[in-house]
Amino acid sequence: MKSFINVEDLGPLDKAMAEAFEIKNDRFKYQHLGKNKTLMMIFFNNSLRTRLSTQKAAMNLGMNVIVLDVNAGAWKLETERGVIMDGDKSEHLLEAIPVMGCYCDMIGVRSFAGLTDREYDYAETVLQQFIKYSGRPVFAMETATVHPLQAFADLITIEEHKVVERPKVVLTWAPHCRALPQAVPNSFAQWMNAAPDVDLVITHPEGYELDPKFVGNARVEYDQKKAFEGADFIYAKNWSNPGVTNPADYGKITCNDMSWTVDTEHMSWTNNGKFMHCLPVRRNLIVTDDVIESPNSLVIPEAANREISCSVVIKRMLENL
Ligand code: AN0
Ligand code: CP
């Protein structure tokens, strides 16, 4: 595997899932694969889970790890070509990327959407430059439009906790005080659509339609209560306006309806549904204390599975070096 962005990059999902459970049973089984190999993790944005779980996965596979926080100590990077660089940015990504590639065997990139230029974000401009100029396999650690390591971990978590063969999984928008990217819901929808045994329903206020390429065949239900009825899993997430219905709204907060916050009443509409969120989560905006602390909350097992999803991805890349 040379890059990891979309669910298709993993090949047959059943095989990837089997590999995930194999690694979960013995996370050091492939320890020999990464000997004398170096992973470089590059963060343009903050992280807790991705940083720790990716480093842990790489260590389980015997790799060395270098972490670079671009905004804390590196030269400020220009990302646009053609700019006269007389501002505060000392180095261009087009030199920085091949340089980074010299010091490692594999690269993980976190680079969030800017949320001002939809075309730029949805072209995955920064990630594509890493793929093109680093000479190394590259995986997304949440980029402008996708967060595949999270969605893979979520699928593993659903597989572990489902009590019916084909669970009803509901992706619900919830309110937030800051404009957040669409990467998590995009990838979640993409992965749930690819999973053969998931009945996916997406619910959000009108105007918050996700990009059709991620919605796929999922059912969209604007009535949150109807969507929740009979659900086995509730996956909550805020996202800013994707600009699908109205391009001028891209990246903006056009709804802050607090009736969408997931509380115990919302959960009572479900089929004893489990609560999921990728974290970090702002309590009592997205979800109430009671719901996130309830026995049906899976937020910690989900985070734990990030080590597993990442192990599968790094293993595949090591096997292909
Ligand atoms: C990020 C987001 O919504 O994409 C990261 C989630 C994993 N969240 C925040 O910036 C709070
Ligand atoms: N879920 C997730 O990716 O968390 P971090 O932003 O802390 O890495």
Which one of the ligands is nearest to 51 CA? 2
> Cα dist. 73→39, 90, 91 in Å?
19, 12, 13
Give the residue whose CA is nearest to atom 10 of ligand 1.
180
Any residues with CB less than 8 A from the CB of 26 and at least 6 apart, and which?
Answer: none
The alpha carbon of 99 and the centre of ligand 2 are apart by a number of angstroms equal to 26
**Ligand 2 binding pocket includes 281 (Cβ within 6 Å):** no
Return the ligand 2 atom nearest residue 141 CA: 3
User: What is the best residue among 47, 176, 180 to mutate for testing ligand 1's pocket, by most ligand atoms within 8 Å of CB?
Assistant: 180
**Ligand 1 binding pocket includes 314 (Cβ within 6 Å):** no
**Ligand 1 binding pocket includes 278 (Cβ within 6 Å):** yes
- For residue 109, the cross-strand partners are 42, 140
Residue with tokens 């680093």: 134
Cα 297 to its chain centre, rounded Å, is 19
Per residue of the chain (321 residues), give pLDDT as tens.
999 999 999 999 999 999 999 999 999 999 999 999 999 999 999 999 999 999 999 999 999 999 999 999 889 999 888 999 999 999 999 999 999 999 999 999 999 999 999 999 999 999 999 999 999 999 999 999 999 999 999 999 999 999 999 999 999 999 999 999 999 999 999 999 999 999 999 999 999 999 999 999 999 999 999 999 999 999 999 999 999 999 999 999 999 999 999 999 999 999 999 999 999 999 999 999 999 999 999 999 999 999 999 999 999 999 999
Going by C-alpha positions, the residue among 236, 140, 146, 151 that lies closest to residue 188 is 151
Which one of the ligands is nearest to 185 CA? 1
Q: What pTM, to 2 d.p., does this model score?
A: 0.98
Tokens of 208: 């918050």
In terms of C-beta density within 10 A (0-12 exposed, 13-18 middle, 19 or more buried), how is residue 221 classed?
Answer: middle
The alpha carbon of 171 and the centre of ligand 1 are apart by a number of angstroms equal to 16
Give the residue whose CA is nearest to atom 3 of ligand 2.
50
Instruction: Report CA torsion sign: 229, 233, 239, 241.
Output: negative
User: What is the best residue among 306, 307, 310, 313 to mutate for testing ligand 2's pocket, by most ligand atoms within 8 Å of CB?
Assistant: 306
Going by C-alpha positions, the residue among 125, 121, 152, 73 that lies closest to residue 242 is 121
